[in-house]
Amino acid sequence: MSYKIIASQCTVCGACEFECPNAAISFKNETYVIDPKKCTECEGEFDHPQCDSVCPVPQTCVPA
């Protein structure tokens, strides 16, 4: 279980990088990516995945 970032919609603002409680998001090759090994979809920590909560573009941080 993991989220992913739709690169074509990402504005590269980086807001998600700081909010991720698992440090699963990093900047690679001009875009942000989620490491599926680290992502927990914020289960047990927050009601909703933090990357999607802070992302300015709808439907950009979505279940992989």
Partner 1 sequence: MELTDREVAEAAIKSGAGNVDEIMQKMAEHKGCETNSDGGKKASCGTEAGENDLPPEIWEKVKNHPCYSEEAHHHYARMHVAVAPACNIQCNYCNRKYDCANESRPGVVSERLTPEQAAKKVLAVASTIPQMTVLGIAGPGDPLANPEKTFKTFDLISKTAPDIKLCLSTNGLTLPDHVETIARYNVDHVTITVNMVDPEVGAKIYPWIFYKHKRYTGVEAARILTERQMQGLEMLTERGILSKINSVMIPGINDEHLKEVNKAVKGRGAFLHNIMPLISAAEHGTVFGLTGQRGPTAQELKRLQDSCEGEMNMMRHCRQCRADAVGLLGEDRSAEFTTEKIMEMDVNYDLATRQAYQARVEEERNAVAGAKANELQILAGEDSDIKILVAVATKGSGRINEHFGHASEFQIYELSTGKGAHFIGHRRVDLYCQGGYGEEDALETVIRAIKDCHAVFVAKIGGCPKKDLAAAGIEAIDEFAHEFIEKSAITYFKRYLEGVKDGSITHVDKGDAEIRPGEVAVDVVNETVAAE
31 sits near partner 1 (criterion: CB under 8 A): no
23 sits near partner 1 (criterion: CB under 8 A): no
Among 1, 29, 30, 47, interactor with partner 1 by CB under 8 A: 47
DSSP states of 18-62 as a string? Answer: HH-TT--EEEETTEEEE-TTT--TTTTT-SS-HHHHH-SSTTSEE
Of the CA atoms within 13 Å of residue 59, those in its CB half-sphere come to: 1
Q: Would you say 57 or 64 has its CB closer to partner 1?
A: 57
Catalog residues that contact partner 1 under the rule CB under 8 A.
Answer: 11-15, 18-19, 46-48, 50, 53-54, 56-57
